[in-house]
Structure 1
Amino acid sequence: MTQRIGTAATLRRVASLATVVLAATVLSAGCATATRDEAGSAPAPSPSADPKAALLAAVPDDEDPAFRFSTAEGGEKFNGVVDPAARGVELSVSQKNKDPKFTMAMTFRIIDEALWVRVKLTGIPGLHDRLKLPKRWMTMDRAKLSDASEVPAYEGADPANMAAIIQTAGTVEDRGNGTYGGFVDLTANADVRDNFSSVDVDALGEAAKKVPFTAVVGPDGNLTSLTLEIPAAGKQKAMKLVARYYDFGKAPRISAPTGADVQKAPASAYEMLNG
């Protein structure tokens, strides 16, 4: 059930790069800145004879309906929707720039290899027009991207890579009421190590091999959250990394933008993503 690691880290890299590119464009153009789930009523899952296998079985797969997800890594957050039946995913992230002061919200929509991007800029009046970036969905040609591997793609029904992380646990404890716990090894392989952009795994030393985690499986049998308790190390403060999957069967299906809501991406969009 594991997949290629990187959705979260890749999205953050792309959004950060795009924000830097836009900020430089704004400055060079001399633009002035503006001054202005509830728990279900069904019974909790019964304790399992093999807690690790039970927990891995609860991770979403291609048979699951559309659902929402979110992750929080330190101060960085992103969210989205996964639709396994459509091989589709929508990923959203927001970045703030201090000088000049503006906020960029970027959303990627992917169905198989098809890619659309929508950008919303706030904080500076008329910024979309000045940067020649439309407010509608933009159809992107991956062949025109300097490094298409850096752009998010549909990688399966586990965008936060929970299965890959759980796999590194030597043992998993069933604590009852759908709650599981144990320790995971962030040094187990390069893929897991590279999944966290705000964690210095090397600085954690031996502690990186035994990071406490708590996972919760909902009454419907779906994994709803995974929390890692990252200890303090050097200049790095202790933090919680939290991934959530929710609204199974309630989230909107992923479909291609149509009509007046979509256009071909202009050159400015490729300049933004290519840096």
Structure 2
Amino acid sequence: MKSSRSRLLALVLSGVLTVTAACGGKSDNSDAAPAASGSTSAAASPEADARTELANAFNKLNGVTMAYSMTTESGTAGITKLTGSSDPATRANSGSMTITAQGQEITAEIITVGTDLYLKLGLPIPGLDPKKWMYVDGSKTSLSKLGLGNPDDPTNVKGLTDAIATVERTGAGAFKGTIDMTKRNLPASSAALIQEMGDAAKSVPFEATVGAEGYVASLTVKMPGAGQVPATTATTTFSDFGKPVSISKPAAADVQPAPAALLSQFA
């Protein structure tokens, strides 16, 4: 049986992002659906207008640098807080994570550049220098197996409009609706979780806001419980769109390989 600390290490590497992986999936770089032609005799419905506006706001995130902050609350299982920035052009992402679970708190720093992952944990691991970064070759161990999204989509929201089942405007720049998670292109672990949810996976509640610049400013998704995974609320905010982001790999002297025993938990 794994020790409590081993389970916490697993939580760190998976980022407690099973839910956020389920919320994301494929990266969609297509443009939003075009607005209705002016020659159309019937006016677009309020839901169609809301869907188009929200789709435009999500698609506007594609390819733009940004800062983000995510809080995932899984009942008594734990709380994860992740803040970071990303540069899709270089497929680079950096972030800091705090996980509170089982009465303990673990901090982690993460850098991804392409398929290269660098991780620094705020707790001692036998045989490792706590001041150095652990390196994981994502081309050999898929980042999705570690619960991490694509480097160019760290918060797993691109293409989310494909799965929106219902949507309505609740105010200026405010929306709510449901997401059909069965329509997402998911890693095997997340797909299995969605299957356990049954019909509830087809109408997962969400709320979103769109800022003055036309980008999605916040997204809250409330995933139902499934199996041993409790109901989870994930709230993400986005900011600093288009501002310069500088993310680089750590110097070779500051890097060490991640221990095989730790990575074996995600084989």
Post-superposition shift, 1:215? Answer: 0.9
Post-superposition shift, 1:185? Answer: 1.2
Distance in 2 between residues matched to 1:244 and 1:263, nearest whole Å:
31
CA RMSD of aligned residues (A): 4.0
Residues 1:138 and 1:218: Cα distance change in structure 2 (over 3 Å) = same
Alignment correspondent of 2:35: none
Distance in 1 between residues matched to 2:52 and 2:111, nearest whole Å:
32
CA contact (8 A) 2:220 2:234 kept: yes
Q: Does 1:136 align with 2:127?
A: no
Q: Does 1:185 align with 2:169?
A: no
CA contact (8 A) 2:71 2:234 kept: yes
CA contact (8 A) 1:90 1:109 kept: yes
CA contact (8 A) 2:207 2:219 kept: yes
Which runs of at least 4 in structure 1 moved beyond 6 Å after TM superposition? 232-237
CA contact (8 A) 1:92 1:108 kept: yes
Residues 1:61 and 1:137: Cα distance change in structure 2 (over 3 Å) = farther
1:65-104 matches, cutoff 5 A: 65-74=65-74, 75-79=78-82, 80-95=84-99, 103-104=105-106
The one-letter amino acid of 2:72's match is A
- Residue-by-residue CA offset, 1:133-170 (whole Å, 9 max, x unaligned): 22334262628x97345347772543232244332123
Residues 1:269 and 1:102: Cα distance change in structure 2 (over 3 Å) = farther
Residues 1:137 and 1:154: Cα distance change in structure 2 (over 3 Å) = farther
Distance in 2 between residues matched to 1:230 and 1:187, nearest whole Å:
13
Number of equivalenced pairs: 221
> Gaps (5+ residues) in structure 1?
1-11, 20-46, 122-126
The TM-score with structure 1 as length reference comes to 0.62
Q: Percent identity?
A: 26
Provide the secondary structure at the position in 2 that maps to 1:187.
helix
The TM-score with structure 2 as length reference comes to 0.63
Post-superposition shift, 1:102? Answer: 6.1
Provide the secondary structure at the position in 1 that maps to 2:183.
coil
CA contact (8 A) 1:48 1:174 kept: yes
Post-superposition shift, 1:272? Answer: 2.9
Q: Does 1:269 align with 2:253?
A: no
> Gaps (5+ residues) in structure 2?
1-6, 15-45
Residues 1:193 and 1:216: Cα distance change in structure 2 (over 3 Å) = farther
The higher radius of gyration belongs to 1
Distance in 2 between residues matched to 1:235 and 1:97, nearest whole Å:
15
The one-letter amino acid of 2:163's match is T
